[in-house]
């Protein structure tokens, strides 16, 4: 059946511009991490008492050791690029309801002092100019504009 005829015969209803707001808890350590970014532009990780690995993003359980973590340790706002992409297709970001600005550089980053990786924007949209192992640095949102979310980090830039 032709698509036009199909559309005429079979009805759909649209949800419309709906909003279903949520309120998520960051937890004790997630709150500490985001507060330190917001107030002091500082990164903190959390250290496993068994294997000694330092996790960023922060979490309270080391999965492989199944150990509770409580020790916060400072980590750098600089690190290495692990892998990356340049996202160029358009989509609506469900977190904002708005079209995501594309293209954007998207990267897995290992901060100095951390053993796990962070995922964020990288301020470069030419894949030819990006390579695993490159040094990167966090660029923070201006003072007074940081709200306590990962978007308080605008992006990472190549050093």
Quick one: tokens of 79? 């690190």
H or E element, residue 111: strand 104-111
In the list 19, 66, 89, 159, the residue contacting other proteins (rule: CB under 8 A) is 89
In the list 65, 67, 72, 87, the residue contacting other proteins (rule: CB under 8 A) is 87
Cβ atoms of residues 149 and 115 within 8 Å: no
Q: What's the min distance (Å) between Cβ of 26 and other proteins?
A: 6
Cβ atoms of residues 85 and 118 within 8 Å: no
Cβ atoms of residues 42 and 36 within 8 Å: yes
Quick one: tokens of 86? 């340049």
Cβ atoms of residues 135 and 124 within 8 Å: no
In the list 88, 98, 144, 159, the residue contacting other proteins (rule: CB under 8 A) is 88
Stretch that binds other proteins, among 20-28, 41-49, 69-77, 134-142 (CB under 8 A): 20-28
Interface residues toward other proteins, by CB under 8 A? 6-7, 9-10, 12, 15, 22, 24, 26, 30, 34, 57, 63-64, 82-89, 91-95, 100, 104, 106, 108, 115-121, 127, 131-132, 149-151
């Amino acid at each position: 059946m032709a698509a036009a005829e199909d559309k005429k015969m079979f009805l759909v209803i649209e949800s419309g511009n709906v909003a279903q707001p949520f309120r998520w808890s960051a937890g004790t350590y997630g709150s500490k991490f985001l507060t330190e970014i917001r107030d002091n532009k500082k990164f903190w990780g959390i250290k496993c008492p068994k294997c000694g690995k330092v996790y960023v993003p922060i979490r309270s359980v080391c999965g492989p050791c199944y150990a509770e973590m409580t020790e916060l340790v400072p980590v750098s706002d600089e690190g290495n690029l692990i892998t990356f992409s340049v996202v160029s297709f358009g989509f609506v970001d469900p977190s904002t309801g708005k079209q995501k600005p594309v293209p954007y550089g998207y990267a897995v980053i290992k901060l100095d002092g951390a053993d796990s990786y962070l995922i964020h924007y990288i301020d470069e949209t030419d894949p030819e100019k990006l390579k695993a192992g490159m040094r990167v640095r966090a660029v923070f949102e201006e003072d007074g504009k940081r709200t306590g979310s990962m978007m308080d980090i605008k992006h990472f830039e190549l050093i």
